[in-house]
Chains A and B, each alone.
Chain A
Amino acid sequence: MEASSLPVALELVSGGGVGLSPEKRAVLWSSLLLLQRDYRFERVWFWGCIQGVRGAYYIAEGLGPDRAAPRSRLYSLNCVEWSLLPPVTKEMIMQAGQLKGRFQGDPSFEYEYTERNAEDAEGLLEDGKEPMIKEEARLVATIEQIDRAVGIVPRGAFVKTPLGSVSENRNFEGLSLTEAKKLSSYFHFTEPVNLKNKTLLEKADLDPSTDFLDSLEHDIPQGSWTVQQEKGGAVVVLRSLLWLGLTFYHVPMTKQYGYVYFGTGEKNLDLPFML
């Protein structure tokens, strides 16, 4: 969620029961502003909080002029001092995918994990010692996975200029109430995967300036999003069931929207059994 709309946004996503304490809320405003100054971000998003066993990580993301470019991610243990996370690599994601269990809460904690692939075993022999993965790398990989899988924005909130860069749409007035209840009005804010597979007929109806991302309609498994109206219908809240803890809110007919993650940072692989 936008750092500037933090107080309002936190009220609106509190339906899940988890939020920020008044102390954190008070310090976030100023510390995110300082982040913007220090790293020269154009926008700063408060991404959320991953709860570890012994402590919690608070994550912020910074965006540059092209909103679709890879974002810089920072973490903090107390919302006051922030550290930049290394950019994510495919290796990190692959290694982190093999880890199970909770985060520990200590960024320098090292996980030991046993390789099962024959290919990776060769790498093992070369090193001569068991590969370890740091919790920091796991953190980066998890945030990237969550953003890629369930980071969403409403349709029309961002436009793609003919030069290819993405920026906020100043004409976006919010989705109507009927539109807001449909999954097709929300897009994944990441590189589109399914867009090329659409039929020519479907593509003809799309507006290339606003429809350049994948919508949520065809997410697998179907039903992995819950759409609810809270506060008597004033807010539309989407919760992801694949990554439990990701909450997206939007107030229809206004420009307010955003998503935040409050959870343990574990993928819910039991989802098909639970639906």
Chain B
Amino acid sequence: MYQPHTLGLDPYQSLEPKSAYPRYLEEQEPYERGHGPYQPHEPGYGLYQPGYGPYDDQIPDPKSQTLAIENAKAYLLKSSTTSGLNLYDHLANMLTKILDEQPTNAVDIIENISKDVKWAQFRKKMDTLRDEHEILPTFEAAEKRKALFLKPNGEGDEELEEEIGESPLPNVMETAFYFEQAGIGLSKDESYHIFLALKKLISVQPVQTCRFWGKILGLEMNYIIAEVQYLEGEEEEETEEEEVPEEREKEVDEDEEEEEKEKEYEPPVSTYKPPPVIPKEENGTGANKYVYFVCNEPGKPWVKLPPVTPAQIVCARKIKKFFTGRLDAPVVSFPPFPGNEANYLRAQIARISAGTQISPIGFYQFAEEEGDEEEEMEGGRDTYEENPDFQPLSVAEMVDSLSAWVHNVQSILKQGRCVWLNPLQKSEEEEENEEEEKEEAPEELPQELQQEIGPPLLTPLSEDEGIQNIPAWTAQPSTNLIPQYAVAVLQSNRWPGAYAFASGKRFDNIYFGWGHKYSPENHIPTLPPPAQAEYPSGPEITETRDPTVQEELAFKAAKEEALAAAEEEEEEEGAEDEEDDD
């Protein structure tokens, strides 16, 4: 049987008060104890003076008053079923805490104090085990960033001298300063980190020129992009692509053998010829003039982006996708993008560069070479060099007229290349295949493709088309208050995020954005192509129409007539024979 806890009568309790409950000094019978002289530390002290208690008017009888007090206290000592605490203890602890700490306006924050006391139950103050320090992922990232600032071991004075000479390392901080005048750019901390990261890149790769191209934002992580030109003769040759056409030729031979064996019955051959694959431009020319390295954050290793193919550029023009930040992420889109995010990133970089890399007029000039005419025939010059006699225009002129700026990257044609290539020009191997194919089936005449011509290199910006009524570029000086030290800043409206500045002989381009072109209209996804014709329809595979009931009856009637006619003829013949016989 459950005995309610009664003070002093628990046989396991010693006479000395051990618990937090202040004990009455006088031993009394259960439920009939008087409230003896209270000690100062007991809660009843000073309260229940005979005749002055709060309930005296209700319970004048001291005995029942005591009983009421006992009941009240027993109620307060009841343990909660959910937490095991009881109100008596809690109030005692709370009041102890208040009296110890003496907060101001305790009555206003009494609920918070109550909460804190309850939470304190679960916190062990004395623990022999020390908490293991949390290793936050932020520490690792900080380590990597710190590593940028450490000088690699073994660097002697000689190397320092070489660096001070001609270094491909761009002065990122100087560029950042000029862009900052226009309100564009990353924080100085980040710019400095990028500066050091570029230095690390240069020390690892054999580069001739290097430039901080910009930053493209992504969903999970961002990309920091460096534009690099390799030293001549240092490029790695890619042998992977040469193997693929060899394999394809082998497959073609096998197919032909199989076809010869099965000439008796074969399903109709599809006459679909996929459009010829346009080969990508050589490394170092056209859209692949520069090599791009990306990293997610300064401090992480740089990854080289693969060269871009025209098919990727053509497809990138039709889709609009955010970058996730992982280079191996698939690009799920329609039309299906031939490649993963690294290829899509490279294609967008190529498009942005072609559209927005500009320089002040006169800074670059065409190199004078013999045989200029031949180069022009092929589609424009693609090399330029710095003009030693460059005279910079004033900032006001740079801002006022857009013809003071020129594009210095070749624009990409509709085909996806910078230099137009006729895909129908056949190499020797393909001509041989053609002769064999001609024996099997007549070829359709290939349509003549128009040569695509784009604007030549170094065209001024005034020829850039705007979108609807928005000009292609917005030009502003960086400040109207101090015009003599202002910087001319251009923002692209076609590729939001592309900026260029010019101040005296210094100029640069940069990109900060999400990597998409601006279009005032909503993006319309490409519609699926019409269903392709499977087989050439001929009489042997076309389904004939079933005859209707009338036709069948008519046919039947005609047949019967014919039969009847034939029978009559036989009868006649038979009759004639009989007559003859007779």
Q: Are B514 and A244 in contact (CB under 8 A)?
A: yes
Q: Which residues of B contact A195 (CB under 8 A)?
A: none
A254 to chain B, nearest CB (A): 14
Residues of A within 8 A of B469 (CB): 101
Quick check: is A164 within 8 A (CB to CB) of the other chain? no
Report 21 cross-chain contacts, Cβ distance below 8 Å, ordered by A residue: A11-B187, A15-B186, A16-B217, A17-B184, A17-B185, A18-B183, A21-B182, A21-B183, A23-B481, A53-B474, A78-B480, A100-B520, A101-B468, A102-B520, A177-B138, A223-B219, A232-B141, A232-B142, A270-B522, A273-B523, A274-B516
Query: Closest residue to A178 on the B side, CB-wise?
Result: B136
Q: How far is the CB of B351 from chain A (nearest CB, A)?
A: 16
CB–CB B180/A21 < 8 A: yes
The residue in chain B whose Cβ has the minimal distance to the Cβ of A225 is: B219
Q: Assess whether B407 is interfacial by the CB under 8 Å rule.
A: no
| Total inter-chain residue pairs, C-beta < 8 Å | 105
Segment 511-539 of B: residues with Cβ below 8 Å from A? 512-514, 516, 520-523, 525
Determine the chain A residues whose CB is within 8 A of the CB of B180 once the complex forms.
Answer: 19, 21-22
Q: Are B470 and A102 in contact (CB under 8 A)?
A: yes
Point out residues on A near B: beta carbons under 8 Å. Answer: 11-12, 14-24, 51, 53-54, 78, 100-102, 177, 223, 226, 228-229, 231-234, 239, 241, 244, 264, 269-270, 273-275
Assess the A54–B185 pair: CB atoms within 8 A. no
Instruction: Return A78 CB to nearest CB of chain B, in Å.
Output: 8
Centre residue among A23, A54, A239 by max chain B CB count within 10 A: A23
The size class of the interface chain B forms with chain A is 35 or more
Q: Which residue of B lies closest to A15 (CB)?
A: B186
* B window 200-219: CB within 8 A of A: 214-215, 217-219
B523 and A233 form a contact (CB under 8 A): no
The contact of A19 among B184, B189, B521, by CB within 8 Å, is B184
B181 at the interface (CB under 8 A from A): yes
In the complex, A53→B523 CA distance in Å? 21
Q: With an 8 A cutoff between CB atoms, is B307 at the interface?
A: no
B184 contacts A232, CB within 8 Å? no
Beta-carbon nearest neighbor of B523 in chain A:
A270
- The answer to whether the Cβ of B220 comes within 8 Å of any Cβ in the partner chain is yes
- A228 and B220 within 8 A (CB): yes
Beta-carbon contact of B185 and A19 below 8 Å: yes
Contact A18–B184 (Cβ < 8 Å): yes
A21/B478 in contact, CB under 8 A: yes
B221 touches A228 (CB 8 A): yes
B137 CB-CB contact with A under 8 Å? yes
Asked if A19 meets B514 with Cβ closer than 8 Å, knowing A232-B144, A239-B217, the reply is no
Check if B190 is an interface residue, CB within 8 A of chain A: yes
What's the Cα separation between A269 and B524 when bound, in Å? 11
Q: Chain B nearest CB: distance from A227 CB in Å?
A: 9
The closest CB in chain A to the CB of B322 belongs to: A274
Additional pairs, 4, CB under 8 Å, beyond known A231-B190, A232-B138, A270-B522:
A14-B187, A17-B184, A17-B186, A23-B478
**Per-position 1/0 for B500-520, Cβ under 8 A of A:** 000000000000111010001
Residues of B within 8 A of A233 (CB): 136-138, 141-142
| Contact in complex: A17, B215 (CB < 8 Å) | yes
Complex CA–CA separation, A229 to B296 (angstroms): 12
Residue B145 CB within 8 A of the other chain: yes
Q: Which B residues lie within 8 Å of A273 (CB)?
A: 320-321, 523, 525
Report A-chain residues with C-beta under 8 Å of the C-beta of B491.
51
Tell me the complex Cα distance, A101–B520, Å: 5
Q: By the criterion CB–CB under 8 Å, are A17 and B181 in contact?
A: no
Q: Are B512 and A18 in contact (CB under 8 A)?
A: yes
Contact assessment for B513 and A17 in the assembled complex, using a CB-CB cutoff below 8 Å: yes
The verdict on B6 contacting chain A, using a C-beta distance below 8 Å, is no
Whether A275 and B322, one on each chain, are in contact in the complex, defined by CB atoms closer than 8 angstroms, is yes
Indicate if the CB atoms of B321 and A274 lie closer than 8 Å: yes
* Interchain CB contact under 8 A, A20 and B183: yes
Q: Within 8 Å of chain A (Cβ to Cβ): is B479?
A: yes
A-B pairs, top 6 by smallest CB distance, nearest first, are A17-B512, A233-B138, A232-B141, A21-B183, A270-B523, A14-B187
What does the 1/0 interface line of B279-298 toward A look like (CB < 8 Å)?
00000000000000000010
Chain B residue at smallest Cβ distance from A223: B219
> Hey, which chain B residues are within 8 Å of A274, CB to CB?
320-322, 516, 523
Q: How far is the CB of A261 from chain B (nearest CB, A)?
A: 14
Residue pair B497, A17 in contact (C-beta under 8 Å): yes
B471 at the binding interface (Cβ < 8 Å): yes
B371-385 vs A, Cβ < 8 Å mask (1 yes, 0 no)? 000000000000000
* Closest Cβ neighbor of A270 among chain B residues: B523
Residues in B whose Cβ lies below 8 Å from that of A24: 183
In Å, the complex CA distance between A234 and B297 comes to 14
Residue of B with least CB distance to A23: B479
Q: A11-B187, A16-B512, A270-B523 are in contact. Are A264 and B496 (CB under 8 A)?
A: yes
Give CA–CA (A226, B324) in the complex, Å.
10
Known: A226-B220, A269-B522. A53 touches B141 (CB 8 A): no
Residues of B within 8 A of A228 (CB): 220-222
A273 to B335, CA, bound (A): 12
- B493 & A102 in contact (Cβ 8 Å cutoff): yes
* Chain A residues whose CB sits within 8 angstroms of the CB of B516 once the complex forms: 274
**Beyond A18-B184, A53-B470, A270-B320, is A100–B521 a contact (Cβ under 8 Å)?**
yes
Residue interface mask B385-398, A partner, CB < 8 A = 1 = 00000000000000
Give bound CA distance, A16 to B496, whole Å: 12
Q: A16 to B297, alpha carbons, bound, how many Å? A: 14
Kindly list chain A residues whose C-beta atoms are within 8 Å of the C-beta of B136. 177, 233
Q: Are A14 and B138 in touch, CB under 8 angstroms?
A: no
The residue in chain B whose Cβ has the minimal distance to the Cβ of A13 is B187
Q: Shortest CB–CB separation between residue A164 and chain B, in angstroms?
A: 19
Contact A15 B190 (CB under 8 A): yes
Q: Which residues of B contact A15 (CB under 8 A)?
A: 186-187, 190, 217, 222
